[in-house]
Structure 1
Amino acid sequence: MPAYDKADLERRMHGAVESLKHDLGGLRTGRASASLLDPVTVEVYGAHMPLNQVATVSVPEPRMISVQVWDRSNVGPTDKAIRSAGLGLNPIVDGQTLRLPIPDLTEERRKELAKLAGQYAEKARIAARNVRRDGMDSLKTDEKKHEISEDERKRLETEVQKLTDSTIGEIDAAAQAKEKEILGQ
């Protein structure tokens, strides 16, 4: 059985792009986004739970996030979790609803976030290159075992390289779009 598995390489490269998009979604821009609160976990009922399992998160206005806590006893822990998440948000408690006004980003903070987006993109590019290396290694292994010919290996290596190039192109496009959004261009 050949070690080379094109479907597995495609799945792993797609995973690198999806992971990047998830990471970029957590970066704060000047606009409100429900995904901004995805990394927040709340300590309730003796366990750490994702915010979306104790409250409904919505975006009623471009610069406001609303968090409707289901159980009144969880309002305090939810407020504390959002404040300590390092997002720079200060909730306004209104009964069982927390309103989170999104403050303007300073120029310095915008540059930091753009730099962080670049670091996330580089991590994703490295992941894609590692997948390419694994694919090339498995092709060489298959050739050594005489499961594929040298010509077949070269053809498949070209295929793997094209897949890598298109994945890195996707990564670059996602990172550039996020940097533009952060820098307000």
Structure 2
Amino acid sequence: MTWKLVLPFITRAKRLVSTHHISSLPRLHHSSLVTHVACIRHRHSSCCNLDSKFALVNNQTMTMHFTYIWARGYVKGKDRGKDKKSDKGKKKVAVNDEQLAELIEINTMRKQMQQAVDRLKEEYVKNLSLRSTTGSIETLPVSFEGKEYQLQELAQIVRKNPKTIIINMAAFPQVIPAALQSIEKSGMNLNPQQDGTALFIPIPKVTKEHRENLAKNAKALFIKCRDSIKEIQNKNVKTVKNNSTVSQDLAFSAQEQIIEIGNQYISQGEMIFDAKQAELIGKD
């Protein structure tokens, strides 16, 4: 770039020398070449300054002065690499259920996710009511001889009065320890008392502490539901990842779609949880 700027002046000087019949150019009185390169943070600039004086005929001095500057601007650090990062993402391809069904068992996946949400609803109805009901106790699961039964299949359950429920375990007394464990872990804040083959369950008063305990159980059940959906979600995402016959763009979009479907079911569960929390956390 320097010679492109200097050359016209040299050519002009030679032309003057030839015109006035001077055999050679006089010695330069002054010449300076200053090159400055500065690099400050993300901005780089360079400038080259050439100031030369030529002695010509008739004792006259002709001064040639020129300056050229070129600069290159760089983006700020926070903006650097944004385009590269966006380029790293795979191209998104629209994927509908029909196309997704060619990669995974989408109907099975949706059914499993819906079952997780339905279980959450069922748990809330049975185990997280402010007032313990006979119906919620009747359906408590109890393990017996390697199988799982509802408590009502192994015992007689009656409500003696508004504050007490009695469970008669005379038909299967050996199940009493398992029944006690199931009742205590039901999340209904129940404290059964054994008298022979009978279990007496005082119905707890609806206190602030009782509400808070139920709310904690509601959150734990929602987390269980959410994790179950995520497990189904991740299993199907892995299936797509391991499919080597699918293009990268299609695989990426299919995985995104699976995650989106899972998140929709998680949102359903979260709405149920929020409604239950609003019901449980109230005034005494």
TM range, smaller chain: 0.5 to 0.7
Alpha-carbon spacing, 1:37–1:161, altered in 2? closer, same or farther (3 Å): same
* CA–CA separation in structure 2 for the residues paired with 1:173 and 1:65: 32
* CA–CA separation in structure 1 for the residues paired with 2:262 and 2:118: 15
Deviation at 1:57, TM superposition (A): 6.3
1:183 aligns with 2:281: yes
* CA–CA separation in structure 2 for the residues paired with 1:81 and 1:149: 53
- TM-score normalized by structure 2? 0.47
Deviation at 1:176, TM superposition (A): 1.4
* CA–CA separation in structure 2 for the residues paired with 1:42 and 1:138: 35
Amino acid at match of 1:121: F
Give the aligned partner of residue 228 of structure 2: 127
Amino acid at match of 1:122: I
Deviations 1:126-166 (A, max 9, x none): 22122221111111112x2x1x3333323322321221121
Q: CA RMSD in A?
A: 4.0
Deviation at 1:182, TM superposition (A): 2.0
Moved more, 14-23 or 114-123: 14-23
Alpha-carbon spacing, 1:58–1:152, altered in 2? closer, same or farther (3 Å): farther
Provide the identity percentage. Answer: 20
* CA–CA separation in structure 2 for the residues paired with 1:7 and 1:48: 28
* Number of corresponding residues: 173
Structure 2 spans left out of the alignment, 5+ residues:
1-101, 194-198
Alpha-carbon spacing, 1:79–1:141, altered in 2? closer, same or farther (3 Å): closer
Question: What is the SS of the residue equivalent to 2:242?
Answer: helix
1:1-185 equivalences in 2 (<5 Å): 4-33=104-133, 34-39=135-140, 41=142, 49-54=149-154, 73-74=170-171, 85-86=183-184, 87-88=189-190, 102-142=203-243, 144=244, 146=245, 148-184=246-282
Alpha-carbon spacing, 1:40–1:141, altered in 2? closer, same or farther (3 Å): closer
Higher strand fraction: Structure 1 or Structure 2? Answer: 2
Q: Is the 8 A contact 2:155 2:170 kept in 1?
A: no
* CA–CA separation in structure 2 for the residues paired with 1:56 and 1:109: 27
Q: Is the 8 A contact 1:42 1:51 kept in 2?
A: no
Larger Rg: 2
Amino acid at match of 1:88: L
- TM-score normalized by structure 1? 0.66
Larger relative contact order (C-alpha < 8 A, sep ≥ 6)? 1
Deviations 1:82-116 (A, max 9, x none): 7662252669xxxxxx9977432221121122012
Question: What is the SS of the residue equivalent to 1:180?
Answer: helix
* CA–CA separation in structure 2 for the residues paired with 1:73 and 1:119: 34
Alpha-carbon spacing, 1:129–1:28, altered in 2? closer, same or farther (3 Å): closer
* CA–CA separation in structure 1 for the residues paired with 2:104 and 2:250: 12
